[in-house]
Amino acid sequence: MALHCTECGFVNTEGANYCQRCGALLPRAEGSGGAGEPVTATYRIDETGELVPVEMEEVIAHGPALVIRAGGGRVGESFAVDGERMSIGRRPEAEVFLDDVTVSRDHALLIRRGDSWYLDDCGSLNGTYVNRGRIESHRLEEGDEVQIGKYKLTFHAR
């Protein structure tokens, strides 16, 4: 059964969770996807550079995470927040390294303020977007779509 994207109309292959053209979450009919089947497939890169599949519950067990939904051939890669802040940018030392010329070296910062998580733009040239709106600082909620350059990421909280 092919899945039509409600955002762009693209016909996606069976079993896809996100649109292969625009990255939007695909609708699921009631009862589809067997019990216990993960809704979001994600992975992390280990010390040797190998892809290691992980369950979303494991990624967000100790705090929030960003998961790449589209862009750069890295769909599904996850970045768990380790601490009170996480840098995002084209600088190789960034915790979320996004290698694209449309991403500034120090593009954005995910930071905890009180009990909430905020995404702050660090004066990037091309801007930081949350749910398709350009932001300077934005309080993130579960499922928010973050766009930085050609990358679309989803924010997941525990």
Give the span between the Cα atoms of 25 and 19, in whole angstroms. Answer: 6
Residues of the chain under the 70 pLDDT cut: 1-2, 28-62, 158
Contact between 78 and 43 under an 8 Å Cβ cutoff? The reply is yes
Rg of the Cα atoms in the chain: 16
Q: Which residues lie across from 20 on neighbouring strands?
A: none
- Lookup: tokens for 72: 């750069």
Is residue 38 classed as helix, strand or coil in its secondary structure?
coil
pLDDT the model gives residue 30: 46
What's the length of the chain?
158
pLDDT the model gives residue 74: 83
pLDDT the model gives residue 32: 44
Q: What is the DSSP letter of 14?
A: T
pLDDT the model gives residue 50: 65
pLDDT the model gives residue 72: 79
Is residue 85 classed as helix, strand or coil in its secondary structure?
strand
DSSP 41-101: -EEEE-TTS-EEEE-HHHHTTTS-EEEEEESTT-TTBEEE--SSEEEEESSTTSSEE---T
Give the span between the Cα atoms of 135 and 12, in whole angstroms. Answer: 31
pLDDT the model gives residue 31: 43
